[in-house]
Amino acid sequence: MGDQQSPEEKFKLITRNLQEVLGEERLKEILKERELKVYWGTATTGKPHVAYFVPMSKIADFLKAGCEVTILFADLHAYLDNMKAPWELLELRVQYYEQVIKAMLESIGVPLDKLKFVKGTDYQLSREYTLDVYRLSSMVTEHDAKKAGAEVVKQVEHPLLSGLLYPGLQALDEEYLKVDAQSGGVDQRKIFTLAEKYLPSLGYTKRIHMMNPMVPGLTGGKMSSSEEVLDLLKGH
């Protein structure tokens, strides 16, 4: 379907229902030359909740527009976020997430054969990535790292150093996944702007960032991973 669309039609489909896009002109330029490469990542922490259908429907739009889409299961991020996923459970969590995400995509008619699934620890423990983490750590201020993760990393009275690393790793993922754009909720905006600020300092290209609106939780605030998909759909 994507091959039969004009760059303008693809742009409209890619950006529809988004709350904000950083880098619209770059997006238009890429679509005139080739298909967009985009990734969406999820930290494998609690159980996926009903709000996951928002990014799933956006992924469906990306695919209809001919984009090359990668879904990242960010297992290392889950561990760094206040150890929400114990190290010994990372592999099992990834397997669980993959089954749930695939089922959600299939339920809304998304063809899985056009998607690429990647596990964070498949490349985030490599020598090159690790060196870039150190390089980035020598540039990013504590203030910027803390600010970037404020709406994503669990906030506790005595925060761990791992929570400060989290935003930088997410920025580096854009380079190591070789994408043009990252998609996420608007709660990721500060991480996206950190990536735009610091990736060029490492000699890497500034990426496009596309943000979905957030789905409010049943108890106020954004949807929590404690509100499970199946329980919500059953009305429990």
Q: Is residue 231 scored above 50 in pLDDT?
A: no
- More confident position, 136 or 105: 136
Q: What's the CA gap between 82 and 185, in Å, rounded?
A: 20
Q: Is residue 227 scored above 50 in pLDDT?
A: no
Q: Tell how strand 181-185 and strand 37-43 pair up.
A: parallel
Q: Tell how strand 208-212 and strand 20-22 pair up.
A: antiparallel
DSSP state of 82: T
Which residues have CB under 8 Å from 98's CB, separation 6+? 73, 117
Tokens of 58: 């956006």
Confidence of residue 1 (pLDDT cuts 50, 70, 90): low
Strand partners, 212: 185
What local confidence, expressed as pLDDT, does residue 208 receive?
98
Question: What average pLDDT is seen over the chain?
Answer: 86
What local confidence, expressed as pLDDT, does residue 225 receive?
53
Nearest Cα neighbor of 45 from 67, 23, 77, 13 is 77
Contact yes or no for 208/181 (Cβ under 8 A): yes
- More confident position, 218 or 182: 182
Condensed to tens digits (0 to 9), the pLDDT of residues 130-185 reads 999 999 999 999 999 999 988 877 767 777 787 888 899 999 999 999 999 999 99
What local confidence, expressed as pLDDT, does residue 232 receive?
38
Strands laid side by side in the 37-43 sheet? 20-22, 208-212, 181-185, 37-43, 68-74, 115-119
Burial class (CB in 10 A: 0-12, 13-18, 19+), 192: buried
* Distance of alpha carbon 174 from the chain centroid: 9
> What dihedral angle (degrees, nearest 10) is formed by the CA atoms of 182, 186, 192, 194?
-170
Nearest Cα neighbor of 115 from 70, 62, 178, 176 is 70
Q: Is residue 229 scored above 50 in pLDDT?
A: no
What local confidence, expressed as pLDDT, does residue 112 receive?
83
What local confidence, expressed as pLDDT, does residue 221 receive?
56
Contact yes or no for 136/92 (Cβ under 8 A): no
How many CB atoms sit inside 10 A of residue 137's CB? 12
Q: What's the CA gap between 8 and 22, in Å, rounded?
A: 17
Contact yes or no for 171/194 (Cβ under 8 A): yes
Condensed to tens digits (0 to 9), the pLDDT of residues 173-209 reads 999 999 999 999 999 999 999 999 999 999 999 999 9
What local confidence, expressed as pLDDT, does residue 230 receive?
44
Average pLDDT estimate for 61-78? 91
Condensed to tens digits (0 to 9), the pLDDT of residues 34-43 reads 999 999 998 8
How many CB atoms sit inside 10 A of residue 122's CB? 14
